[in-house]
Amino acid sequence: MSEQTTTDNGSSAKKNETILSGMQPTGSLHVGNLEGALRNWVRLQDEYWMYCCIVDWHALTAEYEDTRQLKANVFEVAIDFMAAGLDPEKCAIFIQSEVAEHAELHLIFSMLITVPTLTRLPTYQEKKDTLDSYGFLGYPVLQAADICLYNAHKVPVGKDQAKHIWLAADLAKRFNFLYKKTFNEPEALFTEVPLILGADNRKMSKSYDNHIPLEYTDKQTEKRIKSFYTDPGKLRKGDPGHPEKCPVFLLHQIYTPGAVEDIAPPCKSGQLGCVDCKMRLVANLNEALAPVREKRAELVRQPDYVWDVLATGAERARQRAAGVMDRVRRAMKTDYRKAKK
């Protein structure tokens, strides 16, 4: 993938814009990641120059003490990216720490932002009682470096990341103002998906253990769906339900064509019981995930190939990053030997 040439799959219609997307290596991804992010990234790889970064340094902000899981988690995320349809021919898939320039730009950006700006962010406020390291405070600055290092125009994220993208744009603007116009001001590209809730009716998340991992078998998926929260007022078939408040119905809306006409009315009237409703979801969900799971199983058997993809991705990312960092040094007049005076 190079900026000058077109890809050989006929997708020469790529906009001349760059996307940077990032995800923490939390291990096997789940249905929430798939429907909330990855499906969208897969569409975007045909339209934009795309860099998909597995942000292992960001994961270190919380997991610095025990790093033994990191390698396995990075691997799982890489295979889930590809199983979902990210194509290493169309986008660069790479590990953040393999492109040292992320740390370099992070350091420079850290000069351009005040501590109170960072301590005010809700993401910091939420965790500061348990996590108050220098590195955690700088989490959004590193994220801004991830984005600006590729001079990205757009960043596909969930709404919870809006402030971080705004902060990246602000840092880009400030750098441009102080030194020389170097960076695009990146914009968030919000995904239009309903919030995906997990078994306990909270946001689906591995940390809540309410998720449906892509690596689950059909049987494990069935067990998880059976454990899902449903309308507490609907105890048995015949009781009227409230699909608009039910996390199972949210998933039906994604996986069951015609859910609004076929699932909601019989749930409301009581004709459709929760057990039957869940079993219909299980069948549709397993069918939709089958190709992802197949591809995943295939990749698990080829670890060398997966690590090669990540090495090639890092190579491409480094090329792009090196060009941007040259411009950064020129703008700041820290390209001492090359500078004219």
Please state the closest distance from residue 12 (CB atom) to ligand TRP, in A: 26
Look at the block and give the residue holding tokens 């757009």. 154
Look at the block and give the residue holding tokens 């076929």. 262
Asked if 14 contacts 48 with a C-beta cutoff of 8 angstroms, the reply is: yes
Nearer residue to ligand TRP within complex by CB, 21 or 286: 21
State the virtual CA torsion across 229, 233, 238, 244 in degrees, nearest 10: -60
End-to-end CA distance of the chain: 36
Question: What letter does residue 235 receive in the DSSP assignment?
Answer: -
Residue 283: how many other CB atoms lie within 10 Å: 14
Question: Residue 294 and residue 4: Cα distance in Å, rounded?
Answer: 34
Please state at what angle helix 101-110 crosses helix 162-178, rounded to 10 degrees.
Answer: 80
The backbone torsions φ and ψ at residue 207, rounded to the nearest 5 degrees and listed phi first, read -70, -20
Residues 1-40 as x/- pattern, contact with ligand TRP by CB under 6 A: -------------------xxx-x----------------
241 binds ligand TRP (CB under 6 A): no
Altogether, the residues listed in the chain come to a count of 341
Q: List the interface residues with ligand TRP, window 91-150 (CB under 6 A).
A: 143, 146-147
186 binds ligand TRP (CB under 6 A): no
Count of residues engaged in binding ligand TRP, rule: CB under 6 A: 13
Question: Residue 190 and residue 40: Cα distance in Å, rounded?
Answer: 10
Q: Which residues are annotated as catalytic?
A: 127, 203, 206
86 binds ligand TRP (CB under 6 A): no
58 binds ligand TRP (CB under 6 A): yes
161 binds ligand TRP (CB under 6 A): yes
Please state the closest distance from residue 250 (CB atom) to ligand TRP, in A: 20
Nearer residue to ligand TRP within complex by CB, 272 or 328: 328
Nearer residue to ligand TRP within complex by CB, 108 or 155: 155
For residue 179, what are the contacts with CB-CB under 8 A and spacing of at least 6? 331, 332, 333
Question: What letter does residue 108 receive in the DSSP assignment?
Answer: H
**Of 80-88, 124-132, 154-162, 312-320, which part binds ligand TRP (CB under 6 A)?**
154-162
Nearer residue to ligand TRP within complex by CB, 32 or 273: 32
**Of 110-118, 127-135, 153-161, 265-273, which part binds ligand TRP (CB under 6 A)?**
153-161
Out of 29, 55, 59, 251, the only residue in the binding site for ligand TRP (CB under 6 A) is 55
Binding site for ligand TRP (CB under 6 A): 20-22, 24, 55, 58, 143, 146-147, 155, 157, 161, 164
